[in-house]
Structure 1
Amino acid sequence: MTLEEFLRALFTTGQATVVGQLDPFTPADLHQATLLLQEAYAEDKLHLPHTAPPFSAEAALWAAQVLYRAVQLTLLRDLDDTAVRASLTHYPNPINPAVVYSADLTLRYLPDLLHLAKGLAPADVLVTRLRELAQHWPFSFGGPEPAAPQQLEPVLGHPALRAAYADRIIEARNLVRAQQAETAILIREALGHYAAELWPEFN
């Protein structure tokens, strides 16, 4: 299954299949995947409060490849640490709002994969690598840990991402993230006068 086919199935059915070997993606496949990601961005941004950040093809394509490889690595349990780290690379350029939102088109699926990987082998290098990614992408990964303030800067500095991040925290009832100094005021603003009724634990 190509990356483009993987993404199309993921976006339309929520399910996807990967091949059983770490073959390189072809230029034609990467091109088609980029076009599909741009379509997904155009649809997804309609549901954002405020104006979405611009599309970053580079970030979207990087994240899509990371997700594809992470699914493969969850299934291929016999690969060594070097193969895992080579397949799940960190984003190579500065992270800004466009990068955060474009990468989130597929990174939002990684928390479920991390949960699955932890159940299969909690001490595995794949779990460690996914946790490292989670620390760098707090908009896409909720998690029980506080988000690093420096990683939150591109999120909280953009109106659409800031509002969407608050909504995600409230929906997940993530009290750890909600009570961080950087985000607590956002949660209070989002809940308004109904905080006690909507989220008594936070209030």
Structure 2
Amino acid sequence: MEHSKQNAVINALKTHDFLKTITQLREVGHLFLHEKPAKISTSQKEEVKLYLENEYYREAQEYPFKAPVYDNDAALWAAKIIYHTALFIIFRKDSDNSIEKLFPYFDKQIQPSQILSADLLLRYLPFLYHTLENIDPKDILLERLKSILNNWHYSAIDLHFSPGQLNIELYYSNSCLQQLFFNRIVVQKNQAWGSHPAINKKLIQHLGFYKDQLWNSLSAITIPNDESE
């Protein structure tokens, strides 16, 4: 479907909370929620996937190199994670026993397509994480969200904790993802990421002559036996 036709369909479909929540978060940075949200129906999921596919290819026009193909499953999974996180923060009527059900781990292999498709919405999860942390730093949901983000490093770069087990070769396997990954680290000026042994050398090479201009405080680290290669 052409993007202009997709937009017309999407505008006509903005009638339920799940889609409204996703579109308003993407478009104006606000969350739209009702106190008694209904269960997400199959048709609502399809509408959200249509919207996110359109958003992905619109955003991908600005990506460096050739963007990976859009992945419906990863995008919808991330949309539900964001939606349920917002509901928990604002209303918190579900019990802690429902966390595993409402916040499942992604059940497929993570590849560049999944990383960038999920990031359409997972990029907002660190903000929600910090919001919940400020409300209750002992909230059991925090552990689950952190565990999720430790598997989706591109979306977690602006969090304060250091990257966990980082499959860096996955990020280096796709030129588009690699440059976007480095760009986000630089924008966030996250020293934990910029000084990571698997990232530091290649990131400084990526910055080249603009390194001091873009991130003057980033220093090269010494790695025994050059483990970054």
Q: Secondary structure at the match of 1:139?
A: helix
Give the deviation of 1:89 after TM superposition: 0.9
Q: Secondary structure at the match of 2:150?
A: helix
Give the deviation of 1:147 after TM superposition: 2.2
Partner of 1:153: 169
Distance in 1 between residues matched to 2:166 and 2:189, nearest whole Å: 23
Amino acid in structure 1 at the alignment position of 2:150: Q
Q: 1:41 aligns with which of 43, 56, 68?
A: 56
Normalising by structure 2, we get a TM-score of 0.83
Distance in 1 between residues matched to 2:165 and 2:90, nearest whole Å: 34
Partner of 1:139: 154
Structure 2: 5+ residue stretches without partners:
1-15, 220-229
Amino acid in structure 1 at the alignment position of 2:102: S
Counterparts of 1:29-178 in structure 2, within 5 Å, are: 29-142=44-157, 143-178=159-194
Partner of 1:180: 196
Alignment of 1:6 with 2:24, yes or no, is no
Aligned residues of 1:138 and 1:152 also touching (Cα < 8 A): no
**Alpha-carbon deviations, 1:118-154, whole Å to 9, x = none?**
0000110111111111111100011233323544332
Structure 1: 5+ residue stretches without partners:
none
Percent sequence identity is 23
**Alpha-carbon deviations, 1:145-202, whole Å to 9, x = none?**
3323544332222111111111111111111101112211232123212323432221
Normalising by structure 1, we get a TM-score of 0.93
Higher deviation after alignment, 177-186 or 145-154:
145-154
Change beyond 3 A, Cα 1:198–1:9: closer
Amino acid in structure 2 at the alignment position of 1:123: K
Amino acid in structure 1 at the alignment position of 2:20: E
Higher deviation after alignment, 110-119 or 174-183:
174-183
Q: Which has the larger radius of gyration?
A: 2
